[in-house]
């Protein structure tokens, strides 16, 4: 009789634990839905975007296939390793990494079971707002200093893509990026928005220490090289230095004249 009573109590405890766990998960899902639903909608001009080579939103340009292939490979790598965050950089300025970051973000938006957040952390030369046609973006510096809330920074495209642009350049940006408070702000963003993919459009690698300063906050890096200007030595230097500190997911060769232009 005592054995039966103990087994019955054990079953009851497991059921109560399962119900508690399901309740917690339901609250988490509800909190995520509220967080995303309260973001300001982002309305885009597809023609203007296409003129800036952002072609994955409406996918009328066949070149979007290249970014969809990149998206699938990135998602597979992230899921296989349990990663979520990627920095996108280039050896020098003018390689088109912000264009690649935006095209990858909009391509990910077509993956309905994936929620993506893209942040413009190219603090020295922000360009996401201009390329995407975003009006009145917030200051990324103010966000990183907790002077602006995440819901005042992010704008939502569709149901599952949120973009945080930047209104102005930042002096001494590497010091801000490696500040301990910045890591806490990123952790808070992850906790509130719970993105499946978190993309960071970063400053170019070689001219500054911004990327190196921020690497502890990411799981991996994509390097964008320009077929028209990146030298083998520049690319090799970036790959070697990044591989010593994080995971290099791959190199995107941009601006190939023999292809569709991406």
State which residues of the chain have pLDDT below 70: 1-4, 20, 24-29, 257-262
Compute the half-sphere exposure of residue 36: CA atoms within 13 Å on the CB side of its CA: 20
Q: How far is Cα 86 from Cα 77, in angstroms, rounded to an integer?
A: 11
Residue 65 · residue 73 · CB < 8 Å = no
DSSP for 11-79 reads HHHHHHHHHHHHHHHHHHHHHHHHHHHTSEE----HHHHHHTT--TTT--STTHHHHHHHHHHHHHHHH
Q: Per the structure block, which two tokens stand in for 189?
A: 């963003």
Q: In what order do the strands lie in the sheet with 247-254?
A: 40-41, 154-157, 161-164, 116-121, 197-202, 85-89, 220-226, 247-254
Q: What pLDDT does residue 32 have?
A: 79
Tokens 């601006």 locate to 255
User: ∠ at Cα 151 (146, 157), nearest 5°?
Assistant: 140
Q: Write the pLDDT tens digit of every residue in 15-42.
A: 777 776 777 666 666 777 788 999 999 9
Q: What pLDDT does residue 2 have?
A: 66
Q: What pLDDT does residue 261 have?
A: 44
SS3 at position 182: helix
User: ∠ at Cα 227 (249, 241), nearest 5°?
Assistant: 40
The answer to whether the Cα torsion of 148, 200, 57, 75 is positive or negative is: negative
Q: How far is Cα 27 from Cα 117, in angstroms, rounded to an integer?
A: 21
Q: Per the structure block, which two tokens stand in for 237?
A: 């230097």
Q: Find all residues with CB under 8 Å of 132, minimum gap 6, and list them.
A: 42, 44, 49, 52, 54, 102, 163, 165
Q: What pLDDT does residue 26 have?
A: 67
């Amino acid at each position: 009789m005592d054995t039966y009573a103990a087994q019955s109590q054990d079953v009851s405890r497991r059921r109560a634990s399962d119900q508690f766990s399901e309740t917690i998960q339901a609250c988490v899902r509800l909190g995520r839905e509220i967080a995303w639903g309260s973001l300001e909608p982002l309305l885009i001009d597809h023609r203007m975007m296409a003129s800036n080579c952002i072609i994955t939103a409406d996918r009328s340009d066949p070149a979007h296939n290249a970014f969809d292939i990149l998206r699938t490979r990135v998602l597979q790598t992230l899921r296989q390793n349990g990663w979520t965050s990627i920095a996108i950089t280039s050896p020098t300025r003018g390689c088109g990494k912000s264009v690649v970051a935006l095209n990858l973000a909009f391509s990910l938006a077509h993956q309905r079971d994936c929620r993506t957040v893209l942040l413009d952390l190219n603090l020295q030369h922000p360009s996401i707002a201009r390329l995407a046609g975003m009006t009145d973006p917030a200051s990324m510096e103010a966000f990183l200093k907790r002077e602006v809330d995440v819901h005042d920074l992010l704008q939502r495209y569709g149901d599952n893509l949120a973009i945080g642009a930047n209104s102005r350049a930042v002096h001494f940006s590497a010091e801000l990026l490696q500040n301990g408070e910045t890591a806490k702000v990123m952790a808070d963003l992850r906790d509130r928005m719970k993105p499946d993919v978190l993309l960071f459009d970063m400053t170019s690698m070689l001219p500054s220490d911004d990327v190196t300063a921020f690497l502890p906050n990411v799981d991996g890096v994509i390097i964008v090289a320009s077929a028209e200007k990146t030298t083998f030595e520049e690319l090799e230097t970036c790959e070697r230095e990044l591989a010593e500190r994080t995971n290099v997911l791959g190199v995107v060769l941009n601006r190939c004249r023999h292809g569709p232009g991406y």
